[in-house]
Each structure stands twice: as C-alpha cells, then as structure tokens.
Amino acid sequence: MQKIIYLGDSTVTWNHIATYPQTGLSQGLLWYVKDDVFVRSFAINGRSTKSFIDQGRLEAAEKCIQAGDIVLIQFGHNDQKMSDPLRYCDPYGTYQENLKKMADLARGKGAYPVILSSIARRLFDEKGNFLPGSHGEYPKAAQELAQREQIPFIEMTRKTEEYLTKLGDFASRPLFVYPKDNSHLQVHGAVIFAGFIADGLQKLGSPYADVLVSRNAKIIDEDEAPSEDPYMVENMGPAFADPSLNLDAFQNEKQD
C-alpha cells in the first residue's frame, strides 16, 4: 500500500471540525490521488523544521514511512520567526540542515522525498496590489538545498504568488480564512493550491506522477459527445488516512 506522508506546518495540517473552515494542503491533495494511495499528514500547527524535529514529530513519521512512499516536506512559515528561539532557523543554516535530515531519513527508508517551498501569504496593499516576498530567503534556500542534494523540488511560493496576483485582493479572499487571517486556506483554496502540487508531481514523472488520477473527466451529454473538464477528477479520492496507523496523538495536538 503506497502512501503520501506529509511533513509540515499549519498550512499543511489535517483539520477537524474544531478548526473549520481551515483546510490543509494534505486534505486538498486527496482530490488528486488514486483510491489506493493513502495520505497521512504529520504536519502540525505552529511548527518549524526545528520544533517539528525537537518535539518528536519526525520520529513519529519515521515509523510510518515505508519503501515506495512519497514524503512531501514543506516548512518555512515558522522557521522565519526570529523572536522565538524554539522555532527560528537561519535559512541557509539550520533550515537547510533540517530539510536535509528529513529527506535523508526518507531516502534511508527507501521512500521518495520531495521538498516544497511555502505557499504565499495573501497580502495586498491599500491600492489592491499584491505584496510578494513575505517568506524572505526561505523559498530560495529550500530550492538551493534541493538542487545541491538532488532532491526533487516543487516551487509553490512563486506559483501561488503569481496566482494571487492574477486574482487580486477581492477574488482571492474566499481561498483563505479571511478576514481571520491571510495564511491559512479554506477548502476551495486548499483544493486549488494542491492542484499546483499535483502539477509538480506530474512533471517529476514516475514514481511521483503514478499516484495521481487524471484530471480529464469525460462527460457524456445528450448527444453522447464526450467533453473534458480539467477541474474535475474521475473519483472523489481515497479514504482520509490508513486506519491501520495508530499515531493520532501526534496529529491531534493544535497550537497557533
């Protein structure tokens, strides 16, 4: 049974009704993967690469990772918080070191790691112009590390910044938990942004693309003429998680 293991922060975490409508990328990704591929999210709110490792999250994920699994690694929102020594990581120092540690662990288990840069924050000025660059050097540092260590990489920061720029202030609000905040996604946003992840996996080829369903849904109308809709999938995706895994204690804790 192949799995996608997701390591990350609150933009990725699996949400329940208590945090509705907030929806993590690990949940949005379900729309794009085959029925026999399970998505297991070890992402948790408020974590940086440092606190994720220090608090035993990586150790818990290691017990779940098996040969052939895909391990998605996506951090940065909290690594940049210089006021918090328990989370802060220098982008070209401990941040890269921790990403490498996670990727090396996955490779050591025979799994396939992928590093992703952070999704953009929804920030606009008073004139409605999008403000890029809220993650500073972290996206560049993640890409640099991936290139140096030959780890597959999906550029999410630039992709989501470009998308928000095109949408504009008003139209982008329903994607996020607006007006509460401009970092976390609602269901609609999680599905759209997870589509960018699916695009990246598709470009990486096998074995990464092998977990994906086709996004061309053939619909037969009254004239029995097939048509295609790129925004639909052929099924609703897999079960939410592998029921044989009893690691809920590491998933349910919530922090801001």
Alpha carbon of residue 189 to chain centroid = 12
Percent of the chain scored above 90 by pLDDT? 82
223: left (phi over 0), alpha (psi -120 to 50) or beta: alpha
For residue 153, pLDDT beyond 60: yes
Question: What is the tens place of the pLDDT at every residue in 40-71?
Answer: 999 999 999 999 999 999 999 999 999 999 99
Q: Mapped to the 3 state alphabet, what secondary structure does the chain carry?
A: CCEEEEEECCCCCCCCHHHCCCCCHHHHHHHHECCCCEEEECCCCCCCHHHHHHCCHHHHHHHHCCCCCEEEEECCCCCCCCCCCCCCCCCCCHHHHHHHHHHHHHHHCCCEEEEECCCCCCCECCCCCECCCCCCCHHHHHHHHHHHHCCCEECCHHHHHHHHHHHHHHHHHHHECCCCCCCCECHHHHHHHHHHHHHHHHHHCCCCHHHECCCCEEEECCCCCEEEECCCCCCCCCCCCCCCCCCCHHHHCCCC
Listed residue (177, 232, 238) closest to 23, CA to CA: 177
Q: Are 33 and 40 in contact (CB under 8 A)?
A: no
Percent of the chain scored above 70 by pLDDT? 84
Question: What is the tens place of the pLDDT at every residue in 96-141?
Answer: 999 999 999 999 999 999 999 999 999 999 999 999 999 999 999 9
For residue 180, pLDDT beyond 50: yes
Domain 3-251 has CATH 3.40.50.1110: yes
**pTM of this prediction exceeds 0.95:** no
Average predicted confidence (pLDDT) for the chain = 88
Q: How confident is the model at residue 217 (pLDDT cuts 50, 70, 90)?
A: low
For residue 95, pLDDT beyond 70: yes
Question: What is the tens place of the pLDDT at every residue in 222-241?
Answer: 554 444 444 333 333 333 33
Average pLDDT over residues 84-107: 98
| In the chain, domain spans | 3-251
Q: How far apart are CA 176 and CA 93, in angstroms?
A: 31
The region of weakest confidence among 2-16, 183-197, 208-222 is 208-222
The dihedral built from the CA positions of residue 227, 202, 140 and 50, taken in this order, carries a sign that is positive
